[in-house]
Amino acid sequence: MGRETDQRWFAVGHSSADSSLRAGAEAAAGLDPPSDPKLLVAFASCEYDLGPLLEAVRSEVGDVQLIGCSTAGEIAASGPGDAGVVIAAIGGDGIDVATAVAHEASQDLRGAGELAASYAAFADKRDHEVLLMLTDGLSGDQQEIVRGAYSVVGAGVPMVGGCAGDNLRMERTFQLYGDRVLSDAVVAAMISSDAPLGIGVRHGWRRVGEPMLVTSASDNRVHEIEGRPALDVYFERLDVPEEARTDPAVFTAFASTHPLGLASRSEEHHVRFISGADFASRSLVSIAEVPSGGLVWAMEGDSESVLGATDGACADALQDLEGERPLGLIAFDCIARRGVLGPSGISDEISRIAEKGEGAPVAGFYTYGEIARTRGMSGFHNQTLVVLAVA
């Protein structure tokens, strides 16, 4: 499925075939690229043998620049998937792309962001640019990667992307670069276009009660809120069920729909996923840094608020296109939002994305964290939908 202008095109192919070779070949054949492909972005289930899948893709399309990652589910205009592959392709005379990779990201997260952004920045400059990054969310605080990339590209280049998944095993994720399958890596593509590129960012979670001051935190752990054990304050503010107060798995399931919102200058707060609790030290464990001395809110949501955020993210991304028709959309959607929506809700969400995009092709995946920086240094999100619109 694709859409094109005289200068640019965007296409999406997908497959849910059982065989890795067949899935890669089917998804690539479905692209049917018009001419001059510049970039493939592949989102694939880690149930596949990703090496042969990439081999099949490249046998169909040729030696085109490729980045991608494993997922916690795939997104295409035809609907959500759990064990498939979705490939987005862009090309034409009006677009230039440069890709890059940084290995062993966990050894130096900020340095990995700097390195990937430095090499990706070699794309020919056009009027509109975006840095797309796919990372290993299990490697550490992803905000450090964003900070590193920002130190290279500065405020003039927005960033989008997401953290690879492994179907919620939380063991090992994969990043794809050319014909290579990697882990603990950052892969990036600088997309430079003659036409606008739009970004929308919304989460759909609502504040519960008054703001709270984080009085002690380090790295990804919140020790104290308002001078008291953070876990006790969280229990009180959200009226956590009894079973979740002692069972780690039940607590994590509850926390997946009750994140912390960080104070920001905008109404759309950054959200931090609470991935666990330390019942002995009475602390909260988050997927990224919660700064000591900052204000946070307990948050909650439901299918109505999450779908409302979907509409808002799409509208914001399309508004950035300055009236031009979208050629395609790429969605980075947190797996926790999928948990709130359920099977019928995620089908509704993807239908809404396709409808808002006026029938443009849609590709994406369910993430372990989302990247969206349109202003300021911060740009890592949890439990959020990020939409990139390409005109």
For 175-206, give the DSSP string: EEETTEEESS-EEEEEEEESS-EEEEEE---E
Of the CA atoms within 13 Å of residue 26, those in its CB half-sphere come to 14
Q: What percent of the chain has pLDDT over 90?
A: 77
Is 0.85 topped by the overall pTM? yes
> Which residue's entry shows tokens 């912390």?
260
Least confident of 31-35, 203-207, 329-333: 31-35
Q: Which residue has the higher pLDDT, 6 or 390?
A: 390
Tell how strand 128-135 and strand 159-163 pair up: parallel
> Which residue's entry shows tokens 């997309």?
191
User: Is the Cβ–Cβ distance between 95 and 193 less than 8 Å?
Assistant: yes
pLDDT band at 267 (very low <50, low <70, confident <90, very high): very low
pLDDT at 256: 81
Q: Which of 79, 83, 10, 1 is nearest to 44 (CA)?
A: 83
Q: Which pair of structure tokens corresponds to residue 123?
A: 């794309």
Round to whole Å and give the CA distance between 181 and 28: 17
pLDDT at 77: 84
> pLDDT, tens digit, for every residue of 93-141?
999 999 999 999 999 999 999 999 999 999 999 999 999 999 998 898 8
> pLDDT, tens digit, for every residue of 216-228?
999 789 999 999 9
Burial class (CB in 10 A: 0-12, 13-18, 19+), 171: exposed
Q: Tell me how far CA of residue 107 lies from CA of 99, 117, 149, 185, 291, in angstroms.
A: 21, 17, 16, 10, 22
* pLDDT of 378 strictly over 80: no
* pLDDT of 345 strictly over 80: yes
Mean pLDDT of the chain: 93
> pLDDT, tens digit, for every residue of 32-47?
888 889 999 999 999 9
* pLDDT of 214 strictly over 70: yes
pLDDT at 168: 80
Element at 339 (helix H, strand E) = helix 335-356
Query: Would you state the torsion angle of the CA atoms of residues 372, 373, 377, 380, taken in this order, to the nearest 10 degrees?
Result: 0
* pLDDT of 332 strictly over 50: yes
User: Is the Cβ–Cβ distance between 197 and 128 less than 8 Å?
Assistant: yes
pLDDT band at 388 (very low <50, low <70, confident <90, very high): very high
pLDDT at 202: 93
- DSSP 8-state code for residue 389: E
pLDDT band at 265 (very low <50, low <70, confident <90, very high): low
* pLDDT of 266 strictly over 60: no
Interior angle at CA 372, CA 366 and CA 375, nearest 5: 170
All structural domains of the chain with their residue ranges: 2-202+305-390, 214-300
pLDDT at 377: 67
Q: Which residue has the higher pLDDT, 86 or 345?
A: 86
Round to whole Å and give the CA distance between 391 and 389: 7
User: Is the Cβ–Cβ distance between 391 and 195 less than 8 Å?
Assistant: yes
Burial class (CB in 10 A: 0-12, 13-18, 19+), 304: exposed
pLDDT at 160: 98
> pLDDT, tens digit, for every residue of 275-310?
889 999 999 998 788 999 999 999 988 899 999 999
Q: Which of 200, 198, 201 is nearest to 326 (CA)?
A: 198
